[in-house]
């Protein structure tokens, strides 16, 4: 039986992870390691200045090995690998189902996708699932067919090393979703604002808010797929190199010289011989 690691960022009691565990159990043995409280927008944060506590949980019943962790979503994956798996390597890591979108730039902020990315760094095929419904009582029924199909696909076909799937599912009724689109990540961003207020003691505080702006007019983006009623699948990885800029910036290798140590002769091209004699 395949071994499937399940995690999330909304906390071990969230409805989304309950749905994901029920589906994953149909394909193999399941180990759940998830935060003991909501950890949304933690990105790839890890805990290094305080201890991490791990406790067994019975939230999924006696037949599912599960643990709640005091750390971040990435901590959950690290604890699973280093402590709980005892040398076993999962065949798949699934993270979610997240309450809300992780399309476009949200992948950088998302604890859901960072947990999946951490697993992929360890060579574990990984999928992050998100449903565009922020309600705590969201009905995840429309997600089930796509979660089933993608888990089956990865278990049967594997995944390139270091890769993960960022899967977002539109908030539509069952039967209204048009299908799945394999996409690129949209060039979109948050325009942020802070609302100022005062606590009961008169101390000022600031609450982050904002609006999502998508100015990407390409036809193959995750944002457009979701807007058009499709599930979006973006193949992602941790390599943030801007490959388009590599060749253009090669000229800097010859133009920039290392700093000179006092007393050592200058190296590199001499720009002005008259100035050099002084």
- Binding residue numbers for a divalent metal cation: 9-10, 40, 98
Cβ-based neighbour number of residue 183 at 10 Å: 24
Phi, psi angles (nearest 5°) of residue 166: -100, 105
Q: CA distances (Å), 253 to each of 88, 243, 247, 249, 257, in order?
A: 45, 16, 11, 8, 8
Distance CA 196, CA 246 (A): 43
Q: CA distances (Å), 74 to each of 5, 107, 110, 176, in order?
A: 13, 14, 11, 34
Q: Give the strand pairing for 188-198 and 204-214.
A: antiparallel
Q: Give the strand pairing for 54-56 and 65-69.
A: antiparallel
Residue 184: strand, helix, or coil = strand
Cβ-based neighbour number of residue 228 at 10 Å: 12
Q: What is the largest CA-CA distance in the chain?
A: 85
Half-sphere exposure of 250 (CA within 13 A, CB side): 5
Do 226 and 233 form a contact (C-beta atoms < 8 A)? no
Q: Known binding site: residues?
A: 9-10, 40, 98
Cβ-based neighbour number of residue 45 at 10 Å: 15
Angle at 135 between CA 32 and CA 42, to 5 degrees: 55
């Amino acid at each position: 039986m395949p071994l499937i690691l399940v995690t999330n960022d909304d906390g071990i009691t969230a409805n989304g992870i309950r749905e994901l565990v029920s589906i994953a159990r149909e394909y193999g043995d399941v180990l759940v390691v998830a935060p003991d409280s909501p950890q949304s927008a933690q990105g790839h944060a890890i805990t290094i200045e305080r201890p991490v506590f791990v406790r067994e949980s019975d939230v999924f019943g006696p037949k599912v090995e599960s643990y709640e962790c005091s750390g971040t979503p990435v901590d959950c994956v690290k604890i699973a690998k280093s402590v709980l798996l005892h040398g076993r390597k999962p065949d798949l890591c699934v993270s979610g189902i997240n309450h809300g979108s992780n399309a476009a730039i949200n992948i950088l902020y998302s604890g859901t996708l960072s947990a999946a990315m951490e697993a992929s760094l360890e060579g574990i095929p990984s999928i992050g699932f998100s449903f565009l419904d922020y309600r705590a009582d969201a009905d995840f029924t429309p997600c089930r067919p796509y979660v089933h199909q993608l888990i089956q696909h990865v278990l049967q076909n594997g995944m390139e090393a270091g890769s993960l799937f960022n899967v977002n599912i539109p908030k539509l009724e069952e039967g209204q979703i048009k299908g799945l689109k394999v996409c690129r990540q949209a060039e979109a961003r948050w325009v942020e604002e802070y609302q100022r207020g005062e606590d009961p003691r008169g101390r000022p505080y600031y609450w982050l808010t904002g609006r999502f702006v998508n100015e990407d007019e390409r036809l193959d983006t995750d944002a457009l797929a979701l807007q058009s009623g499709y599930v979006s699948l973006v193949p992602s990885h941790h390599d943030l190199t801007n490959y388009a800029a590599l060749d253009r910036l090669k000229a800097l290798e010859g133009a920039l010289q290392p700093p000179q140590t006092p007393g050592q002769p200058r190296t590199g091209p001499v720009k002005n011989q008259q100035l050099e004699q002084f």
